[in-house]
Amino acid sequence: MKKDFEDFKKFITGKKVGVVGIGVSNIPLINFLVDLGATVTAFDKKTKEELGEVATDFNNNGVKLELGEKYLDNLSGFDVVFKTPSMRIDSESLVKVKKEGAYITSEMEEFVRYTKGKVYGITGSDGKTTTTTIISKLLEEQGYKTWIGGNIGTPLFSQIENINDEDRVVLELSSFQLMTMTQEIDVAICTNLAPNHLDMHKDMEEYIDAKKKIFLYQCSNGILVLNRENEITYGFKKEAKGVVREFSSKRKITDGAYYKDGILYIEDKEVCKKEDIIIKGMHNVENYLAAFIATKDDVSIDIMKKVAETFTGVEHRCEFIREIDGVKYYNDSIASSPTRTLAGLKAFDEKVIVIAGGYDKHIPFEPLAYEGYPYIKELILMGATKDAIKKVFDKLEQEEGIKINIRMAKSLEDAVKLAKEKAKVGDIITLSPACASFDMYPNFMVRGNKFKDIVKNL
């Protein structure tokens, strides 16, 4: 049973509130908390100069700022603390303030607790953004007022009073957002799971446990959508509290969604043909199957077919940029793990020249080499992980005698230059990093836009 937001308004009024992190989602949150009558202090590693107008606006709005390297030193004496998603709940500062009696929460937890709309939550290692976007398109085409948030879309908590019972809410949820989630999500979708974010999680077990939070608090009428072909997600079935729906790209599931002989089905009814889907690749077939079976109570098969045959894809996700001298360039900057890169490579009908490398999330690169080599014509490596990735491909050559030509780049500009030099008419060059961007860029979107700028200026 959803809580009444009036209760939160009464609770937060007059409270001393700390908000850790002055990022995209927390800026509107901070202003909203002030509007609700809270006394707010905002904490961030950035300096006042780096925050610029944001800091000025907060000062003018009565928000106290704790900034710089030692920004968490004064996280004490608060009634409520909103943490940024990437901040571990067992961090020393949070443990200390919790012992003092503070209520620790996050923007997404409070949003799910109080929103009136039916919530679709999507998580997984790969395919989250595309599946989230497909589900939102399906619901919008069916006529629902649809709100998109979490990792994508817009921060929603500050808009919570505009969301009605008949609206639909679609949330892309990361393991960081789910680690402390204890709220019911009406329809939970887990696309797949593979090693990821092991720079932030203690181990794979903690990562998996975080993902489980998307369904562990459901009631008996909650819906959990699972990938039948992913061993980890299929294992969630035995812990499900509600109704489990499955999807598969490899076997017939009469009461689920499945792919067979070039056709996508839902409960044995044909939805569309694979060849008619605009966004290519079996990973996108799986994304559609997950979206279809998740939304079947709200969306007609005719609408499902229409969206599959008209949706052109998500920016930075196997996004075609341009063709130069017979060479096609694609931006797959969203591919921040080896399995995500593999899915992108498999979408092409030929071997491609791949630009990879970036921030080290401490996840193994063996899948990129041992499963990816049939799809790679040339490999251009950059960033903090370039030596680690090369080491795995060297190991592949030593063990299997399979050699992939590798060139090392000093920057993204240099990587594009090297790729262009190697490319011949008919080749494809794709930025598909298999890593996060944080060693060189603030996020995958900035990285993708930079790549697009470089290619457009060739």
What's the pLDDT tens digit per position in 234-252?
Answer: 999 999 999 999 999 999 9
What percentage of the chain exceeds 90 in pLDDT?
Answer: 78
Residue 190 pLDDT exceeds 80? yes
H/E segment holding residue 357: none
Exposure letters 375-408 (e unless 16+ CB within 10 A, then b): bbbbbbbbbebbebbbebbeebeeeeeeebebbb
Q: What is the distance, to the nearest Å, from the Cα of residue 429 to the centroid of all Cα atoms in its chain? A: 24
pTM: 0.77
Q: What is the mean pLDDT of residues 309-316?
A: 83
Residue 273 pLDDT exceeds 90? yes
Q: What is the dihedral of CA 178, 182, 184, 189, to 10 degrees?
A: 20
Strand partners, 43: 20, 66
Give the integer Cα–Cα distance in Å for 8 and 93.
25
Mind listing the pLDDT tens digit for each residue in 336-352?
A: 989 889 988 988 879 99
Q: Is 174 left (phi over 0), alpha (psi -120 to 50) or beta?
A: beta
Question: In which band, very low, low, confident or very high, does the pLDDT at 126 lie, cut at 50, 70 and 90?
Answer: confident
User: Who wins on pLDDT, 447 or 312?
Assistant: 447
For position 369, what pLDDT does the model report?
96
Residue 34 pLDDT exceeds 90? yes
Average pLDDT, the chain: 93
263-266 and 269-273 beta bridge pairing: antiparallel
Q: Which of 185, 201, 181 is nearest to 193 (CA)?
A: 201
For position 278, what pLDDT does the model report?
84
Per the CB < 8 A criterion, the answer to whether 419 and 353 are in contact is yes
Q: Which of 45, 171, 24 is nearest to 110 (CA)?
A: 171
